[in-house]
């Protein structure tokens, strides 16, 4: 049994391990137990525990809920805090933060530098055929999203409204409501997101 456990740990994805460590540290700094954090984030205690141990790569929806409950951003949870203190930052293509959803194949590429207090983030999303981000939690009032569809067909859902974007279409919406992105076709879809706030806000 001990050997099986060791083998399991050895197969852990380094990105998931680093993400889980940072989540655990921030949760403990906030003096929150797993049970308390589960109630705050809406993520089950079992899932939270697996994420913190690096045993489970969360879906984009779960990762966003964890970030919001910690009053931070997914980018900060995945990034290097030292980089966030630079006033000038170059992000090479091979240095981009990448979040991959193991269940759907969804990929999120952070194109902006991770900088504390940066009021704008530029993100690139890849949605495989028949994939969805699932419902994402609302942002505080004042946070907006610009969407630019660059490949395939993207559906943007907000409350009771669904907007279909074809290649080249753009959409602007206020992100203080639950929303999601979906690809219902048999071909991949890709789009850029520009996330901005009326005032400097750390979550994204």
Weakest mean pLDDT among 14-23, 36-45, 85-94, 128-137: 85-94
What mean pLDDT comes out for the span 106-110?
Answer: 93
Task: Give Rg (Cα) of the chain.
Answer: 17
The larger pLDDT score, comparing residue 111 to residue 75, is at 111
pLDDT tier at 122 (50, 70, 90 boundaries)?
Answer: very high
For the cut 90, the answer to whether the pLDDT of residue 9 exceeds it is no
User: Which domains, from first to last, does the chain contain?
Assistant: 2-57 (1.10.260.40), 82-197 (2.60.120.10)
What is the pLDDT, as a whole number, of residue 60?
84
CA distance 150 to 191: 5
Residues facing 103 on adjacent strands: none
pTM, entire model: 0.66
What is the pLDDT, as a whole number, of residue 116?
64
What is the pLDDT, as a whole number, of residue 84?
45
Cα separations in angstroms, 77 against 22, 34, 97, 124, 127 = 6, 18, 10, 17, 22
Quote the mean pLDDT of the chain: 83
What is the pLDDT, as a whole number, of residue 63?
87
Weakest mean pLDDT among 8-12, 62-66, 161-165: 8-12
């Amino acid at each position: 049994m001990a050997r099986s456990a060791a083998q399991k740990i050895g197969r852990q994805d380094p990105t998931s391990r680093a993400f889980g460590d940072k989540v655990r540290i921030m949760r403990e700094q906030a003096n929150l137990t797993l049970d308390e954090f589960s109630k705050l984030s809406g993520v089950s205690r079992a899932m939270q525990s697996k994420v913190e141990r690096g045993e489970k790569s969360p879906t984009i929806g779960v990762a966003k809920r964890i970030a919001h409950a910690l009053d931070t951003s997914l980018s900060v949870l995945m990034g290097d805090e030292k980089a966030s203190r630079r006033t000038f930052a170059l992000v090479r293509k091979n240095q981009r933060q990448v979040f991959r959803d193991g269940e759907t194949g969804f990929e999120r590429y952070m194109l902006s530098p991770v900088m504390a207090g940066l009021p704008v983030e530029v993100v690139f999303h890849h949605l495989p055929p028949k994939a969805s981000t699932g419902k994402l939690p609302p942002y505080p009032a004042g946070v907006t999203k610009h969407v630019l569809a660059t490949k395939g067909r993207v559906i943007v859902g907000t409350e009771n409204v669904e907007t279909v974007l074809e290649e080249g279409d753009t959409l602007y919406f206020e992100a203080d409501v639950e929303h999601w992105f979906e690809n219902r076709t048999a071909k991949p879809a890709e789009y850029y997101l520009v996330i901005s706030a009326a005032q400097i806000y750390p979550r994204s």
